[in-house]
Amino acid sequence: MSIPTKELVKEFFELSTPCVSDACDRLKIKCGCHGIKPIVFGKKIVGPAFTVKYVPVGGVKGTAGDFIDDVNEGEVVVIDNGGRTYCTVWGDIMSYLAINKKIAGTIIDGVCRDVDGIRKMGYAMFSKDYFMVTGKDRVMLQSVNEMVSISDVQVSPGDLIMADDSGVLVIPKDRAEEILKGAVKIDEAEKNIIGELKKGSTLREARVKFNYHKLQRSKE
């Protein structure tokens, strides 16, 4: 029997992105979104992806889109802006609405703005950087809830997004349970290793005792 999404979210929330990343490595699953960092530190999110893709405007200038009205409570807004840093696609007004709608957070392969407002509200925002220039008449909404990429990591609607102070990763929904099992084992091993170190063991001894390297190493 498969684990319901809400239960998976709860289980992953008890772990760290490094543990989950190591579990993905063992399964040869690319998960880490390189270069995407927290705008507000101390925030941790886990939730299903609501995906958004922007493209540069052409002869026809589209809108930025009001997609946020369709995002559900607990979802993570995942915006593929192609890594563009010359214009923003998110600010404090959207953050205010996201908080009111109980959206888990926002991930942008690109930049946000209104950083002072976002930090004051304490919204869980993760992006490549920040810049004040608007995306209006520079980029336009191409699609919602279709496959996108964040830092060359594929994201499908409903994939679990996990983010904390160490960064952002993508948990493919069809591999989530398998990844969770591996991450739990790694988390337990790391806690046991710290316990052994407190008893006076060397790091080498503690790692060997709990098969730490085998837990992280990719399956052949």
pLDDT at 1 over 80: no
- Find the domain containing 67 and state its range: 30-173
Q: Look up the pTM and report it.
A: 0.91
- From residue 13, how far is each of 43, 156, 174, 176 by CA, in Å? 11, 20, 18, 13
Asked if 140 and 191 sit in the same domain, the reply is no
Residue 19 lies in a domain: no
Q: Which pLDDT score is estimated for 213?
A: 67
Q: What is the mean pLDDT of residues 30-41?
A: 97
For residues 74-105, b (16+ Cβ closer than 10 Å) or e, as one string?
A: bbbbbbbbebbeebbbbbbebbeebeeeebbb
Q: Tens digit of pLDDT for each residue in 95-133? A: 999 999 999 999 999 999 999 999 999 999 999 999 999
Q: Tens digit of pLDDT for each residue in 42-81? A: 999 999 999 999 999 987 776 766 899 999 999 999 999 9
The answer to whether the CB of 158 falls within 8 A of the CB of 49 is yes
Q: Tens digit of pLDDT for each residue in 161-189? A: 999 999 999 999 999 999 999 999 988 88
Asked if 129 and 98 sit in the same domain, the reply is yes
Asked if 138 and 85 sit in the same domain, the reply is yes
Asked if 186 and 165 sit in the same domain, the reply is no
Asked if 194 and 161 sit in the same domain, the reply is no
